[in-house]
Structure 1
Amino acid sequence: MSTSGIAEAESTEIAPPPTEPIADPFVFNGETMPGMRDQVVTETVETRVWTEEVGAADGSPPRSPDRDPTYRNDPATPPYSAASPGSPPPESQQLSDAGAIIQGTLHSELERVQLAREVDVRAAFAGLPRVHSHWTHRYMKILVVGEAGVGKTTFIKNLFAAYASDPKFPVADTPARGARKAFQDNPESLCTEVVLQDVERRVCYHYRVQDTPAFGDGKDLDSDQAAVLDHIRACNQAFLDAEQDPGRRSPLASHPDPRVDACLYFFPPHTCRANDLEFARLLAAAVPLIPVLAKADAMTSEELAGQRARVARALARHGAQWTFSPRALAEAGAHDGPPFAVVGSRDMDLAVGRFWPVRRYPWGRVEALLTRHSDLPALRRLLFEAAFEDLKENTDARYLDFRRDQAAPGIVAVVTTPVRGLVKLAEWGFAVAAVLWLSQQAGPLLTDPKYRQRKLEDVREKVDTLATNVRETADEVRAKSANAVGTAKEAAQNLTSTTRDAAHRANRVLEKNVTSRERRMEQERRLRYESRPFWRFWGE
Structure 2
Amino acid sequence: MAGPSSFAARRKVKGVQLTIMVVGQSGTGRTTFVNTLCEQPLIQHQQPVAPEEAHLESGIRINPVQVELEEDGVRVSLTVVDTPGFGDQIDNEFTFNEIMGYLERQYDDILAEESRIKRNPRFRDNRVHALLYFITPTGHALRELDIELMRRLAPRVNVIPVIGKADSLTPSELHDFKRRVMEDIEYYSIPIYNFPYDAEEDDEDTIQENSELRALMPFAIVGSEEEVEVNGQPVRARRYPWGIVEVDNPQHSDFQRLRTALLQTHLHDVKEITHDFLYETFRSEKLSRSLVGDSMGAGYGAGQDASVNPEDLATQSVRIKEEQLKREEDKLRELELRTQRELAERRQELLAKEELLRSLEARLADAQHSNSSTPLPPSQPQSPIPQQGQPHPVLTPHGGAPTNGLQ
* TM-score interval, normalised by the smaller of the two chains: 0.5 to 0.7
Asked if residue 310 in structure 1 is aligned to residue 180 in structure 2, the reply is yes
The answer (yes or no) to whether the contact 1:172–1:192 under 8 Å persists in 2 is: no
In structure 1, C-alpha distance between the alignment counterparts of 2:233 and 2:134, rounded to whole Å? 27
- Distance change >3 Å, CA 277–CA 352, structure 1 → 2: farther
Equivalent position amino acid for 2:159 in 1: L
- Distance change >3 Å, CA 197–CA 378, structure 1 → 2: closer
What are the equivalent positions in structure 2 for 1:60-79 lying under 5 Å apart? none
- Distance change >3 Å, CA 329–CA 150, structure 1 → 2: farther
In structure 2, C-alpha distance between the alignment counterparts of 1:136 and 1:374, rounded to whole Å? 31
The answer (yes or no) to whether the contact 1:159–1:380 under 8 Å persists in 2 is: yes
Asked if residue 149 in structure 1 is aligned to residue 27 in structure 2, the reply is yes
In structure 1, C-alpha distance between the alignment counterparts of 2:233 and 2:110, rounded to whole Å? 37
Corresponding residue to 2:152 among 257, 260, 282:
282
Equivalent position amino acid for 1:381 in 2: T
User: In the TM superposition, what whole-angstrom CA distance separates every residue of 1:308-365 from its partner, at most 9, and x where no partner exists?
Assistant: 0000100111122322135557447637411111111232237889984211111210
Residue of structure 2 equivalent to 1:451: none
In structure 2, C-alpha distance between the alignment counterparts of 1:255 and 1:173, rounded to whole Å? 31
Residue of structure 2 equivalent to 1:398: 278
- Distance change >3 Å, CA 137–CA 238, structure 1 → 2: farther
Corresponding residue to 2:16 among 138, 142, 147:
138
User: In the TM superposition, what whole-angstrom CA distance separates every residue of 1:35-59 from its partner, at most 9, and x where no partner exists?
Assistant: xxxxxxxxxxxxxxxxxxxxxxxxx
- Distance change >3 Å, CA 352–CA 266, structure 1 → 2: farther
Seq. identity, %: 30
Residue of structure 1 equivalent to 2:248: 369
Corresponding residue to 2:267 among 388, 393, 414:
388
Asked if residue 170 in structure 1 is aligned to residue 49 in structure 2, the reply is no
The answer (yes or no) to whether the contact 1:140–1:261 under 8 Å persists in 2 is: yes
User: In the TM superposition, what whole-angstrom CA distance separates every residue of 1:390-413 from its partner, at most 9, and x where no partner exists?
Assistant: 211210121122222222355457
Equivalent position amino acid for 2:81 in 1: Q
User: In the TM superposition, what whole-angstrom CA distance separates every residue of 1:152-182 from its partner, at most 9, and x where no partner exists?
Assistant: 0000111122xxxxxx543266658897464
The answer (yes or no) to whether the contact 2:60–2:85 under 8 Å persists in 1 is: no
- Distance change >3 Å, CA 290–CA 329, structure 1 → 2: farther
The answer (yes or no) to whether the contact 1:176–1:213 under 8 Å persists in 2 is: no
Asked if residue 265 in structure 1 is aligned to residue 145 in structure 2, the reply is no
The answer (yes or no) to whether the contact 2:68–2:75 under 8 Å persists in 1 is: no
The answer (yes or no) to whether the contact 2:19–2:130 under 8 Å persists in 1 is: yes
| 2:185 match: secondary structure | helix
Which runs of 5 or more structure 2 residues have no equivalent in the other structure?
1-10, 50-56, 198-204, 298-407
Asked if residue 319 in structure 1 is aligned to residue 189 in structure 2, the reply is yes
- Distance change >3 Å, CA 249–CA 302, structure 1 → 2: closer
Equivalent position amino acid for 1:264 in 2: L
Corresponding residue to 1:196 among 66, 70, 73:
70
User: In the TM superposition, what whole-angstrom CA distance separates every residue of 1:464-498 from its partner, at most 9, and x where no partner exists?
Assistant: xxxxxxxxxxxxxxxxxxxxxxxxxxxxxxxxxxx
- Distance change >3 Å, CA 329–CA 408, structure 1 → 2: same
- Distance change >3 Å, CA 414–CA 315, structure 1 → 2: closer
User: In the TM superposition, what whole-angstrom CA distance separates every residue of 1:413-443 from its partner, at most 9, and x where no partner exists?
Assistant: 77789xxxxxxxxxxxxxxxxxxxxxxxxxx
Q: How far does residue 136 in structure 1 lie from its aligned partner after superposition?
A: 4.4
Relative to the length of structure 1, the TM-score reads: 0.45
The answer (yes or no) to whether the contact 1:344–1:368 under 8 Å persists in 2 is: yes
The answer (yes or no) to whether the contact 2:227–2:234 under 8 Å persists in 1 is: yes
Corresponding residue to 1:295 among 165, 174, 181:
165
- Distance change >3 Å, CA 341–CA 234, structure 1 → 2: same
In structure 2, C-alpha distance between the alignment counterparts of 1:351 and 1:282, rounded to whole Å? 43
Aligned length: 268
Asked if residue 342 in structure 1 is aligned to residue 221 in structure 2, the reply is yes
User: In the TM superposition, what whole-angstrom CA distance separates every residue of 1:168-225 from its partner, at most 9, and x where no partner exists?
Assistant: 5432666588974642xxx33xx343343776xxx64222221112332124211111
In structure 2, C-alpha distance between the alignment counterparts of 1:235 and 1:352, rounded to whole Å? 47
Corresponding residue to 2:86 among 215, 231, 246:
215
Greater RCO, CA 8 A, separation 6+ = 2
Which runs of 5 or more structure 1 residues have no equivalent in the other structure?
1-132, 162-167, 418-540
The answer (yes or no) to whether the contact 1:328–1:386 under 8 Å persists in 2 is: no
- Distance change >3 Å, CA 256–CA 179, structure 1 → 2: farther
Say which one has the larger Rg: 1
| 2:103 match: secondary structure | helix
- Distance change >3 Å, CA 356–CA 198, structure 1 → 2: closer
Equivalent position amino acid for 2:78 in 1: Y
| 1:404 match: secondary structure | helix
Equivalent position amino acid for 2:253 in 1: S
User: In the TM superposition, what whole-angstrom CA distance separates every residue of 1:349-386 from its partner, at most 9, and x where no partner exists?
Assistant: 37889984211111210011211110000011111222
In structure 1, C-alpha distance between the alignment counterparts of 2:69 and 2:240, rounded to whole Å? 35
Q: How far does residue 298 in structure 1 lie from its aligned partner after superposition?
A: 0.8
Asked if residue 244 in structure 1 is aligned to residue 115 in structure 2, the reply is yes
| 2:216 match: secondary structure | coil
In structure 2, C-alpha distance between the alignment counterparts of 1:223 and 1:145, rounded to whole Å? 14
| 2:228 match: secondary structure | coil
Corresponding residue to 1:256 among 111, 119, 124:
124
In structure 2, C-alpha distance between the alignment counterparts of 1:171 and 1:353, rounded to whole Å? 30
The answer (yes or no) to whether the contact 1:308–1:339 under 8 Å persists in 2 is: yes
